[in-house]
Structure 1
């Protein structure tokens, strides 16, 4: 393949790369795996008869989706042996992303690969069922059923309370200050009665191997953590939206970063999602 041919393939592919990454990441929940799938799609694009492709975006979306469906089979086997709660790789953005928040991505984990693809392509990316059918190689009626089943499973994961951007960022910053300073009165005032903590260390950094549920349990854990933070330090690097939820990135005493995302319901913190697994944080460095 000549350099000119490669340049031509890249020129038509690169503008579509961000859209393809959105599809792949939402399918897989892993930034590294999504990048691999998109790169594999680019390799196939270079080898394709591009003159015969009428709609490059549709062609490449189909390619990426099918690669992700294959990848999901091995990913599920890996997650069966994962240490502690599994959370998707954190993606930190300046603006709130409402289409696929962290709770919704966790709900997608309970779907079959085909249900996940049909739901994302139709309900999130707005494709018609004929296009969904062509992408996942099922007929349109079957795709409607797949999307309907998926919708039933994920309905509860849709955000019920909208938090204004500035208010969300204020809550995230206030949560950081209260949790690190040990001001347990201020910290407790922010929590819902059924608040929960989900910490993903992947067996590579210390983290609870089961979710911590309930106000009293969460307060007890953070009383201990506050003492550690005061003794060893915890530096705020950035406040933003982590997978669509208000949150922040910190540098911890072990020299590693971590992300914290807050699910807000009725002005209170209903769930705390902490990613500590260094493999899931490399792209943030």
Structure 2
């Protein structure tokens, strides 16, 4: 998905902001043409802003509210617009300063979260990865996106972040699709070590690992993009070209429902370990 085609949640937020701008203009008694003339814009710019097709700059908002005699709303509107920009961040931009910084950037979020829920349809979740598995993934990221090569520092940062698993007062729920177990990342030895590590974590307290078997009747629990839930306050979803941050309560609730439905068709404990050991055996 390209940055010119944002996901629906981002577009809905832009449209909601545009609607607020339209209401401010109408409350002032101005037509779109009159506002554009006062601002020195082409009339089409006002239309694009009001319909959410063009995200407003800080200066656009200041001009809009000044002309409409609603300067007191400028700060709130600017904060809203900046929040929308932060919802959808291209990986290339996020990773431009190196992968280590990306790993460290989520530490404050992890520190304040009590209930973690992770669904992975692509790779083993980061908190459950071995060093070699992480190294193989990040080397691929460097090759694909041509990011700065600080893989070893980034691996160390991710391993350091895993210490949160052993702190008290937190709960962790992981869901993975069975094909994650069957997708060979790195070498066969890397994958075998990773799968063995997963067997070990299935007995950890305050942590559950569910595996959704291939061939299970899906019902409403369709495969989804990989996502992480932090309490009921924030969701981070992984798209091909970007990361999406969701904080709108209605949307967070939709992800919570999806997680619950996926959890309902997963297997746990001995049944999950059986699928993992089968995947190890398939490595030869």
Query: What TM bracket, shorter-length normalisation?
Result: under 0.3
Q: TM-score, normalised by structure 1?
A: 0.27
Specify the structure having the higher radius of gyration (Cα): 2
Q: TM-score, normalised by structure 2?
A: 0.27
Q: Which has the higher strand share?
A: 1
